Structure 1
Amino acid sequence: MAIKILAAGDIHLGLKVTGLSAGAGEFSARDIWKRMVDRAVLSNVDIVALSGDIVDRDNRFFEAVGPLQAGFRRLGEHNIRVFIVSGNHDFDVLPQIIKAGSHDNVRLLGEGGKWEFEKFVKGNEAVQFAGWSFPVQHVRDSPLKRFDTGNIDPAIPGVGLLHADFGAGDSPYNPVSLADFAITGMDTWILGHIHKPQELNISHPYIFYPGSPLALSSKETGAHGPVLITISNNSVGRAERVFASPVRFENISIDISGCESEEALRDTLVSGLLDRSLSFGDELQDVSCISYGLMLTGIHSNPALVESWSSGMKDDFSHETGGGTMILVHGTDYNIQPEVSNIRELARQNSPAGILARTIVAIEDGEETEFLKNLLAEWKENHREMNRKEIYLHLQKMRLPDDDTDEKGKQFILTESKRLLGNLLQQKSE
């Protein structure tokens, strides 16, 4: 009899999806956890395996304790075991919640930063779990270096649970490498910490991030959802997604060249968004809404007019695919080239338009100019000053990555230079 394992990590109970337009409704980690429990029961899985950061933070205790305990209880009623480890977010709060419930079917592996092992047997199939939990928020030395292979039965498939930062040697969140896993003797490793689902090694050992089952923000693009692993004939299969996150974020670029009327622009944008959504096919079967970061590209005689025509998309656009998925737009950006017969010739001019043209050419050619360096330095300072303001402090609490890179700055300067150049040329033609 095969052993079925439903796996996920980084649920972050206490959080809700951010970045959707106002009409999208509310989607929370609490809802996705309940949906996972329902699917585990419906699919008759044997084990639910969770790879850390199940709760967002200690201050989310009261938001997480009820849903988590209810899920554990329901899984126990259907004889479903839960193997779980804590991560850097819930190193302190997850053990509290588990101990408060006293559920016999739930096992927190590796509490206190010490490896623990447990075997599960079903008929003629068996699996041995190994797990290690964060004892504190920051861990800079890989615990895999202290993995005791003497606890492993080489005749039984082994599945490891670990919250770790793969390939990031200087990370404070348990940095690990492929070489670290190779010496463990385990067949499969289910990792947590990175929200993007990805297979890191498909040979032996099989290592993967299931990713966050719910796409929590527009930074988490692509398909998300819990995965199923099957152990049969004494071997561990590869992960397969069992259902999709109800929210999906994607980025899309649409070329608006030739759209000289508002009607033509609208047709191009709507058809572009719909065609892209339909291209996902069955991947959207469980998806309530797909939200796009929209980049308008191309050449236009009046880029400022394009911005005006499309300005309402972020807040107002919604369109159904026909399969029940709502298409939304959570952001619009522009990389529209003004219609210039020879921008390099214009760049030789000693005029405001010439300065803008030189800046555009420099960025697109990958060159550095003194003027561009000064603009970039000013942009970075303004960006950092904005992020120091009180209104943005909540972003720091969510630990979003810094966006003040040269690449981001140059893209901003390029977009604004094209917009300003388009305005200047339009004024001259009037």
Structure 2
Amino acid sequence: MTSKTNTSVSNSPDVLKFIHTADLHLGSKFCGISGMNQDLAKKLSKATFTAFDNIVSHCIDNKVDFLLISGDIYDSADRRIYEQLEFRRRLAKLSEHDISVYLAFGNHDPLSGWSAKIDWPSNVNIMSGNNPECHFYESGGKKKAAIVGISYKQSKTIVNLTKYYPEKDNSWPFTIGMLHCNLGTDTGHEPYSPCSVKDLTDKNYDYWALGHIHKPQIIQKSGPAIVYPGNPQGRDMGESGARGCYIVTVSNGGITQTEFIETAEIKWEKISVNVSRIPDENDLIKEIENVIQKIRRNSGDKPTFLRLTLTGRSPVHSLLSGDGVTDDIIRHFRDEEEENSNFVYLEKIIDNTEPEIDLGKVAEREDIVGDIVQISDSLLKDEDKLQSVRLKLDDLFKSNKGKKFIENLSDDEMEALVKEARTYLLDRFVGGDSK
């Protein structure tokens, strides 16, 4: 969504407006997509840059005072000169509109990494890696914001950097802390600069502009505001949903609006469809067509990668379990979408359908088929038993080879795995026979 500028407010000398972004990952590669044509591959290769172009345009259109970028501008410590030159070109465009930029480098682009000796535009302020430093944004001869930040010296910065940040001085105006960090625990990200909400609150700042977590989220709205903008362009199905940045308006020293703006050039969507009422392959194809058209209508003319999960006890289960069937359906829809500029690219179909059998009746059988249902039901109803299965899989997930390719299963994924195993066995022992 785009933001609307309130002209009467924005002309006030007491109003401050800025955009907060992070995790641009310029030049990042998109993985796991097969069967792409040349035009699509080219669009993907430019997507992270296009997303940043959208941020630059929002800065100019909304006449913001400055742009904050909280780390991971590039995707690699050994950043290529192409990414650096393209990044500088976009910053120079902001300079032409008198928009300041504040940069704090993160774990993907630490100061220790190779960097070309490129002169930055005069509007760019880079945080050092020695200690947090304070920059004052001034307008009309008045200090309107204090911006405190630090860049990573090394990629694996695992110390809590907040302990080095100064507390807000009484003489400072609206104060912003910039930090690339892991807030709290169990975020699914590497624990770089781990810290707590209390660590941030104790500094008495007004806004914490964080980076590192790719999902956009406002941790708290005030006292202070703590915000992760997420990455402006999702790069795989793990980064589905809205992606963008935040535009923040400050009036008389307090935040009056924090608005999320979508910037992604390409979207990733996960959709689950219950097909229990679908009788045959013709209706299944029609249902998938309906899903694709709905996504297209809601995409804002942006190309979308779709992962479709089919669920429910359905007559089409036996069809879908046939060799190569889902691959053929995927190929059909990819061919259909090839000429659309706002295509919906069917990335994968996950078949979680089940045969049309009465599990309760099957569970009463005194044979191996009954045992399959009884054991799976027992696992799904007893958390301790389910965890015992997880422990048996630990060697697979913790091995040096395994952990490179697979992540630990969540509780929902463990349950799905049990159900999938049950369906696989019932297909082979029972098929559609519920007797």
Class of the TM-score when normalised by the shorter of the 2 chains? 0.7 to 0.9
* Aligned match of 2:164: 146
| One-letter amino acid of the structure 1 residue matched with residue 80 of structure 2 | F
Displacement, 1:374? 8.5
Match of 1:349 among 357, 365, 371: 365
Measured in 2, the distance between the counterparts of 1:247 and 1:91 equals 27
Measured in 2, the distance between the counterparts of 1:175 and 1:272 equals 41
Q: Does 1:14 align with 2:30?
A: no
Q: Secondary structure at the match of 2:421?
A: helix
Q: Secondary structure at the match of 2:78?
A: helix
Measured in 1, the distance between the counterparts of 2:155 and 2:265 equals 30
Measured in 2, the distance between the counterparts of 1:314 and 1:374 equals 36
| One-letter amino acid of the structure 1 residue matched with residue 424 of structure 2 | R
Identity %: 23
Measured in 2, the distance between the counterparts of 1:368 and 1:359 equals 14
1:86–1:94 contact (8 Å) kept in structure 2: no
* Aligned match of 2:153: 135
Out of 304-313 and 240-249, give the one that drifted further: 304-313
Match of 2:425 among 402, 420, 425: 420
Q: Specify every segment of 5 or more residues in structure 2 that has no aligned partner in the other structure, as ranges.
A: 1-10
| One-letter amino acid of the structure 2 residue matched with residue 233 of structure 1 | N
Q: Does 1:312 align with 2:328?
A: yes
Q: Secondary structure at the match of 1:34?
A: helix
User: Which digits, 9 at most, give the CA deviation of each residue in 1:48-105, with x for residues without a partner?
Assistant: 11000111112333342221221222222332211010111111367945x6324321
Alpha-carbon spacing, 1:240–1:40, altered in 2? closer, same or farther (3 Å): same
Displacement, 1:164? 0.8
User: Which digits, 9 at most, give the CA deviation of each residue in 1:217-271, with x for residues without a partner?
Assistant: 1101211112222233333344323343122222221111132211011122322
Measured in 1, the distance between the counterparts of 2:283 and 2:74 equals 47
Q: Does 1:261 align with 2:280?
A: yes
| Residues 92-131 of structure 1 mapped to structure 2, 5 A cutoff | 92=111, 96=115, 100-109=118-127, 111-123=128-140, 126-131=144-149
Displacement, 1:358? 2.6
1:292–1:328 contact (8 Å) kept in structure 2: yes
* Aligned match of 1:162: 179
Measured in 2, the distance between the counterparts of 1:66 and 1:181 equals 34
Out of 191-200 and 140-149, give the one that drifted further: 140-149
Out of 260-269 and 305-314, give the one that drifted further: 305-314
| Residues 190-205 of structure 1 mapped to structure 2, 5 A cutoff | 190-205=209-224
* Aligned match of 1:360: 376
1:201–1:208 contact (8 Å) kept in structure 2: yes
Measured in 1, the distance between the counterparts of 2:137 and 2:383 equals 60
Q: Secondary structure at the match of 1:312?
A: helix
Measured in 2, the distance between the counterparts of 1:70 and 1:185 equals 36
2:281–2:316 contact (8 Å) kept in structure 1: no
Alpha-carbon spacing, 1:427–1:129, altered in 2? closer, same or farther (3 Å): closer
| Residues 24-423 of structure 1 mapped to structure 2, 5 A cutoff | 24-25=40-41, 26-27=43-44, 28-92=47-111, 96=115, 100-109=118-127, 111-123=128-140, 126-149=144-167, 151=169, 153-154=171-172, 156-168=173-185, 172-275=191-294, 278=297, 281=298, 284-285=299-300, 288-301=302-315, 303-308=317-322, 309-318=325-334, 325-341=342-358, 343-366=359-382, 381=395, 388=401, 402-404=407-409, 407-423=412-428
Alpha-carbon spacing, 1:112–1:131, altered in 2? closer, same or farther (3 Å): same
Alpha-carbon spacing, 1:152–1:165, altered in 2? closer, same or farther (3 Å): farther
Q: Specify every segment of 5 or more residues in structure 1 that has no aligned partner in the other structure, as ranges.
A: 396-400
Count residues in correspondence: 408
Alpha-carbon spacing, 1:48–1:250, altered in 2? closer, same or farther (3 Å): same
Measured in 2, the distance between the counterparts of 1:150 and 1:310 equals 58
| One-letter amino acid of the structure 2 residue matched with residue 256 of structure 1 | V
TM-score normalised to structure 2 length: 0.82
Q: CA RMSD in A?
A: 3.3
Measured in 2, the distance between the counterparts of 1:95 and 1:186 equals 33
